[in-house]
Amino acid sequence: MGAYLSKQKFELIDNVIEILLENRKIAISLLCAGTIIGKLLTDRLANLPPGPLNLPYLNAGWRLFFYPRADVSLSSLNNEYKSDIVSCRFFSSPIIIVINSPRLIKELFKKNATTFSDRDSLKRMQGSLSGEEFSDVIFSLNYGDKFLQAKKFILRSFYQDNHDMLRHTLDFQCDQFIANVKKFDGSTLTNLKPMLSTSLARIICSFTISIDSSINDEDLNEFLRITNDFNNGFGTVGSFVPNPYPWLWRKIFYSSIDIKFRKCIREYRGFLRKFVNMYEKIDSDSRGTSLLAELLNNKTIDKGNELLDTLLMMTIDNPTSICEAFMWLFLYLASYQDVQEKARKLIAELTNNTRKITIEDRAKLPYFSALIYETFRCCNLQPFSPVHHVKEGLKFQGYNIPKGSIVLTNYTAMNKDPNVFPDPEKFNPERFLNEDGSFKPVDSLTPWGFGPRSCPGERLSKMELFLIVARVLQNFRLAFPDNYNPDLTPIFDSFCVPGPFPIRFIPITE
């Protein structure tokens, strides 16, 4: 009896196989359906934050057919799922957790810093593009004692030891920029960026890599070229999400973006090595207090790529990102004449029109802090934070966050949240002021990051933005040519940048 049943079972299986072979479309359909159902059940049991449908092998990679930019696809998840935390995965990339709430950001990066502040995924991403990992001690280094000590050292070297030189350099370069603009005598400027980025590059180079607080024109032009190439390559889909198939990308789909990125890294390391070699020929007591001098004197920092990459990460972004912030500031000030006049009036009341604005005046002019923060909010300069690597799996907000996931902060969702910023598309610096006129920071606006991974260049950026804008308003009235209607729609390049616009710096006469 048992043998008979066994024979019947095998005959049934043979019949099913024969039917499937004769009807291959049915077989393929059943196989696909079974695979998809299995994938859906697996994802359901994983209890991840809400997110798009994950198909076998593709995961949410299918969305890139509708959103060619991975960053745009991730940004849209906030509106699609109406959740403060969402998840997504492109092909075989790590699971991406996107945070849309300042409350959750604080909980993640302040209360759980040791879990959410690593950078392994970033290092792997850079490695897939450059062929080797970055080894700097401030941006790519995983969170821990070495990182905390390195950041403390960098901040001390950057600001405390160089305070007088920093103040002098800012003052001098600001005067140089004003003098260069005055040469145009109020005529229309159509390409302000080169002049502005040159001043910013001289500031960052003067107290990071130069020996005598200056840099020659040839080195400066090389620095600007490399930083522009680097940042243009970094603002791409390939660099935004860790490469899902590094071996395939390199061997088959090796794009011009990767080639350009690798070239920039080699060139920048070579550029910095030239200054390191110059410093090494100088006695340690005669090197001064630049960041490079401090790094060379620090015995805990390797004098190879660790030193070069630390300098790279401390200098590569400033001339580009802050230049774009200035362009937005000038665009908004020319567009909103009432805001411009109010800021200028406050300067006049403070100085009685008898002296130049100085960096020490920043604390006395909270309206300028509000103006800068509102500019960052409206222009949404950087839509997402740098990636954070999840060191250990844990349960958060009722969801499982797997080990190895990466976390992104969605600045776009927070900058445009109508519950926090009523009428979010309106440019209104007063939203960052208390009734008594003092500055009112808002937790959801963190243009320089939050917690232990906040940008070490924050203080320098704020000083640059305040002093240059205040001096500009003290000397000029910003306006557009007659009959010009400005377009405030951002263009996404490496950052959200304004489109080209003409502007006049009209000298103010007594």
Per-residue pLDDT tens listing for the chain (510 residues): 545 445 565 566 566 556 555 566 665 666 666 556 655 556 555 788 998 887 776 777 777 777 766 667 777 888 888 889 999 888 777 888 999 888 888 787 777 777 777 776 555 555 544 455 667 877 777 788 888 888 888 888 877 766 787 888 899 999 999 999 999 999 999 889 999 999 999 988 888 887 666 778 899 999 998 888 877 655 444 444 444 444 444 444 445 556 677 788 888 899 999 999 988 888 877 777 788 888 888 888 888 888 888 888 888 877 888 999 999 999 999 999 999 999 999 999 999 989 999 999 999 999 999 999 999 999 999 888 888 888 888 888 889 999 888 888 888 888 988 989 999 999 999 999 999 999 998 887 888 887 778 888 888 899 999 999 999 999 999 999 999 999 999 887 668 899 999 999 999 975
- The tokens for 2 are 């048992």
What does DSSP assign to residue 402?
-
What DSSP string runs through 173-231?
HHHHHHHHHHTTTTPEES--HHHHHHHHHHHHHHTTT-SSS---HHHHHHHHHHHHHHH
- Domains located in the chain, CATH noted: 2-46 (no CATH), 60-507 (1.10.630.10)
Sort strands 406-409 and 96-99 into parallel, antiparallel or unpaired: parallel
- To the question of pTM greater than 0.75 for the whole model, the response is yes
Give the start-end residues of each E strand in 35-89.
85-88
- At residue 492, the 3 state secondary structure works out as strand
Tell me: is residue 455 an annotated ligand-binding position.
Answer: yes
Cα distance between residue 313 and residue 301, in whole Å:
15
Residue 150 and residue 143 in contact, taking contact as beta carbons nearer than 8 Å:
no
- At residue 490, the 3 state secondary structure works out as strand
